[in-house]
Chains A and B, each alone.
Chain A
Amino acid sequence: MKKLKLVVVGNGMAGIRTVEELLTLAPDLYEITVFGAEPHPNYNRILLSPVLAGEQAFDDIILNPLSWYAENGIKLHLGKTVTQIDRVRRVVVADDGIEEPYDRLLLATGSTPFILPIPGKDLAGVISYRDIYDTEAMIAAAKTKKSAVVIGGGLLGLEAANGLKLRGMDVTVVHLGDWLLERQLDETAGRLLQKSLEERGLAFLLGKQTAELVDDGAGSVAAVRFRDGGEAPADLVVMAVGIRPNATLAESAGLYCNRGIVVSDALQTFDPRIYAVGECVSHRGVAYGLVAPLFEQAKVCANHLAQLGIGQYKGSVLSTKLKVTGIDLFSAGDFIGGDGTEDIVLSDPAGGVYKKLVIKDDKLVGACLYGDTADGAWYFKLLREGRTISDLRDTLMFGESAIGDAGVQGQSRAASMQDSDEVCGCNGVCKGTIVKAIKDKGLFTVDDVKKHTKAASSCGSCTGLVEQILMSTVGSSFQETPKTKAVCGCTDRTHAEVRKAIREHHLLDHKAVYDFLEWRTPNGCATCRPAVNYYLLSTWPHEAVDDPQSRFVNERVHANIQKDGTFSVIPQMKGGVTNSTELRRIADVADKYHVPMVKVTGGQRIDLLGVKKEDLVDVWKDLGMQSGHAYGKSIRTVKTCVGSEFCRFGTQNSTQMGIDLETMLANMWSPHKVKLAVSGCPRNCAEAGIKDVGVIAVDSGWELYVGGNGGIKTEVAQFLCKVKTADEVKEYSGAFLQLYREEAYYLDRTVHYIARVGLDYIKARVVDDTANRQALYERLLYSLEGLPDPWAARIAGAQKNEFIPIKVLA
């Protein structure tokens, strides 16, 4: 089928966002052509303020580089203004005469700054604040000129003023209203804001109306003259008094406009082939000037362009923030209040904090926060949901963290947020969407999250929050499943309650647990089954029966599944020590089974990657080595350094110590993986400082460290104690690991366990209480006693079916 032609007029934030949304919905429907009057690819207009303030560079704010247009087959006309739409012939004409035909047309022409119609408005040195060109002009002016007057004390004006001040100019803000941001703040907050801006050196003239701009005699501006006769000197005047929807083109084409291009809930103009989005639009009588509603429009519009025809744009509730670093303000809804509303106000002018919540009919209808805006998003959510707040009223002012047990002890705000809570206001991205993207797509950086979800990609004020979410999601599974909450959707029981029931009621299998604790599902789910399996095995060693079907595939087949469904095989190599025979066997196996990659791991051993499942058992057999447990919530490696046998600094035989520990802990299951390292001296070449148990040899013995972690969030291990002999190293570290095995919740690494119970508790149980230490150590040895090497067991025939595919002859 021949592609339809879509022409987009306006290469800005709303237009290109619509194209992006469209490309995800219907990548092949259109041949797309974009006209942009500016000579740049689409950039983040919002971030012009940080650029002006010198906090970011232009390159940083490009949203879609030229390569993006090329990759998506978009024809781009940069620096060309469309001057005419011929609706009969269905072509647009640009200022250089170029014509492009369309089947669908999208107008996204943005808005134009409003210029006061006063004498002197055309003098050199008088500019507005809208695009890169203006920003560059201001940056250049700040280099040579001294005094600037910004007319307009709204968001844009204040951001301009702040930027110019930071660039070294004397800046006066002239404002007609009685206080700053009178459309975003009430008077008290406006005054607080003024005070902090004055402290940064800005001057303000409030209640002043500009009458004229004075010529310096050579065609440049010299001063601003007011209606009341006063004057302020100015080599640079920035007009930031408002914007007008840019509907000239649409009007000249005969499309119905009324303070903006009038569109339906489908973002369609009165000509059904022509759509419009962004600041140029008037929807239900409202023209928006912030990106969040424009992006909502883009989504709906794309849906209709994609011919899916669902989705309606119904208008947006707005919230505002000011992008002046160090000043936190937030407002939303009706924050002035009036008849029939009540205010809750917290005012601490000395501390620079002011909060006002406006309530009507038991619902939050407005919020105005200054100084402490951490709960802005939460209030905004309550406001949009229109939920009654009678139950929250007493603590409403103190924010989300004050209610119930929304948060888990001492965790970040991100962790306490609901999945449906909005993180990025600009793009309407909820926490759940971000978490899901992180998990599904394996994202690890804020930039990745920006790319995949758009969160934090506009004004950037939620970047910190996104970082926290990233941390708590990829971070330890600790925060992923808050352990004070139910294990999963199958039950209301917490991990602690499940552990306790298994211990106190001697529960020995899954069914007993689910029956006893009244699980809602007949056989649990992929979250609770592995946890319960571990609790059973660790509580009742040699009694409880391991259930392979309750183990994640890696632990069931004793190899690590890869993205293509093949597996990796890492044989045990105690302490990182091997020999020529072993290496030869590994080489032979690699040849015989056509192993695509052989790799030295970060854990001092060798990985055979890309082994087919049906070959696993044979590979193990031919290797003749034990399982390295590189796939399990289990003992992993014990890394060592060369130690006193060879190294000129070595104080003890760290290699042998490592081998002994790895031998002792062979086949140990644990709440999460467990890694150890032994170094021969404090130079610590085995990196013992970031291991679950780190052992560092010193002249007089061994230092033991616990709770280190080298993964997502590096955690330095904490000093536990110093011991004299190698046997003591085994006893103390064994006792510590047994305590962890008995008490930690599933998927907590040692660092998380210690964070919960405290290092002092560990010391009391393991170091100070000798009898308890010995008992723990014995229980560890008892649970490990006689555990078979899983590879040997499979070679001997255990779970044979698992590895044999069925062949059906058709």
Chain B
Amino acid sequence: MNMPTEKPWLRVCAVDDIPLLGSRVITRDAGNIAVFRTAADTVFALLDRCPHKAGPLSQGIVHGETVTCPLHSWNIDLTSGEAKAPDVGCARRFPVKVENGEVFLVL
């Protein structure tokens, strides 16, 4: 039987551990994850791999709900993980929630 098991929420860090309009990296064998914090304190998590040439998105500049990849300046939408036109591609998203100033993530 292949019952879908609920994956657990994992605590990552406090929201304040992430710089405003910045990000932190979660290192992981299966590929690093970038956690971003916008000016409105919304937190997003994407695979830290630009759909263009695998640039580390965590190192980009965050503006609005977008991050600009540091390597060749693709703009990635934080809400969907999708590259903005004219570029095409998608970085994997991870579910995030913030509770009492703490960030949780499902891997």
Chain A residues engaging chain B, CB cutoff 8 angstroms: 432, 436, 439-440, 521-526, 529-530, 548-553, 557, 561, 563, 565, 799, 801-802, 805-810
Partner of A805, one of B24, B53, B55, B71: B24
Please report the C-alpha to C-alpha distance between residue A215 and residue B102 in the assembled complex, in whole angstroms.
Answer: 97
Does B107 lie within 8 Å of A808, measured CB to CB? yes
Q: Which B residues lie within 8 Å of A801 (CB)?
A: 17-19, 24
Please report the C-alpha to C-alpha distance between residue A549 and residue B68 in the assembled complex, in whole angstroms.
Answer: 12
Q: Which B residues lie within 8 Å of A799 (CB)?
A: 19
Q: Which B residues lie within 8 Å of A522 (CB)?
A: 39, 64
Please report the C-alpha to C-alpha distance between residue A96 and residue B86 in the assembled complex, in whole angstroms.
Answer: 49
Does B70 lie within 8 Å of A553, measured CB to CB? yes
Nearest residue (CB) in A for B68 is A526
Q: Which B residues lie within 8 Å of A530 (CB)?
A: 61
Beyond contacts A563-B71, A565-B54: 20 other A-B pairs, Cβ-Cβ < 8 A, are A523-B39, A523-B64, A525-B61, A525-B63, A529-B61, A530-B61, A549-B19, A550-B21, A552-B61, A553-B59, A561-B56, A565-B55, A805-B24, A805-B26, A806-B24, A806-B25, A806-B27, A808-B10, A809-B10, A810-B10
Whether B20 sits at the interface, judged by CB under 8 Å, is: yes
Task: Give a binary string over B37-71; 1 marks a CB under 8 Å from any A CB, 0 the rest.
Answer: 00100000000000011111001111110101011
Q: Which B residues lie within 8 Å of A525 (CB)?
A: 61, 63-64, 66, 68
Does A440 lie within 8 Å of B59, measured CB to CB? no
Does B71 lie within 8 Å of A526, measured CB to CB? no
Q: Which A residues lie within 8 Å of B21 (CB)?
A: 523, 549-550
Please report the C-alpha to C-alpha distance between residue A553 and residue B23 in the assembled complex, in whole angstroms.
Answer: 11
Q: Which A residues lie within 8 Å of B25 (CB)?
A: 805-806
Does A526 lie within 8 Å of B19, measured CB to CB? no
Whether B98 sits at the interface, judged by CB under 8 Å, is: no
Distance to closest chain B CB from A798 (angstroms): 12
Please report the C-alpha to C-alpha distance between residue A549 and residue B37 in the assembled complex, in whole angstroms.
Answer: 11
Q: Which A residues lie within 8 Å of B19 (CB)?
A: 548-549, 799, 801-802
Distance to closest chain B CB from A137 (angstroms): 47
Distance to closest chain B CB from A214 (angstroms): 61
Does B86 lie within 8 Å of A432, measured CB to CB? yes
Q: A549-B19, A806-B25, A807-B27 are in contact. Are A561 and B39 (CB under 8 A)?
A: no
Nearest residue (CB) in A for B27 is A805
Please report the C-alpha to C-alpha distance between residue A810 and residue B26 in the assembled complex, in whole angstroms.
Answer: 12
Q: Which B residues lie within 8 Å of A529 (CB)?
A: 61, 63
Q: What would be 9 A-B contacts, judged by CB atoms less than 8 Å apart?
A: A440-B52, A523-B21, A549-B62, A553-B59, A565-B59, A805-B24, A805-B26, A805-B32, A807-B27
Partner of B56, one of A523, A526, A565: A565
Nearest residue (CB) in A for B25 is A805
Does B105 lie within 8 Å of A808, measured CB to CB? yes
Distance to closest chain A CB from B21 (angstroms): 4
Q: Which A residues lie within 8 Å of B13 (CB)?
A: 806
A-B interface, 9 closest residue pairs, ranked by CB to CB distance from nearest: A526-B68, A553-B59, A526-B61, A549-B21, A565-B56, A553-B70, A805-B27, A805-B25, A806-B26
Q: Which A residues lie within 8 Å of B63 (CB)?
A: 521, 523-526, 529
Whether B12 sits at the interface, judged by CB under 8 Å, is: yes
Please report the C-alpha to C-alpha distance between residue A551 and residue B18 in the assembled complex, in whole angstroms.
Answer: 16
Distance to closest chain B CB from A512 (angstroms): 15
Does B12 lie within 8 Å of A440, measured CB to CB? no
Nearest residue (CB) in B for A803 is B25
Q: A522-B39, A526-B73, A801-B17 are in contact. Are A561 and B59 (CB under 8 A)?
A: yes
Please report the C-alpha to C-alpha distance between residue A808 and residue B105 in the assembled complex, in whole angstroms.
Answer: 9
Does A806 lie within 8 Å of B59, measured CB to CB? no
Distance to closest chain B CB from A102 (angstroms): 32
Does B20 lie within 8 Å of A806, measured CB to CB? no
Q: Which B residues lie within 8 Å of A432 (CB)?
A: 86
Does B61 lie within 8 Å of A561, measured CB to CB? no
Please report the C-alpha to C-alpha distance between residue A557 and residue B75 in the assembled complex, in whole angstroms.
Answer: 21
Which residues from 1 to 31 on chain B have a C-beta closer than 8 Å to any C-beta of chain A?
A: 10-13, 17-22, 24-28
Q: A806-B12, A806-B13 are in contact. Are A553 and B20 (CB under 8 A)?
A: no
Q: Which A residues lie within 8 Å of B28 (CB)?
A: 808
Distance to closest chain A CB from B5 (angstroms): 13
Please report the C-alpha to C-alpha distance between residue A113 and residue B71 in the assembled complex, in whole angstroms.
Answer: 51
Distance to closest chain B CB from A430 (angstroms): 11
Distance to closest chain A CB from B105 (angstroms): 7
Distance to closest chain B CB from A440 (angstroms): 5
Q: Which B residues lie within 8 Å of A810 (CB)?
A: 10, 107
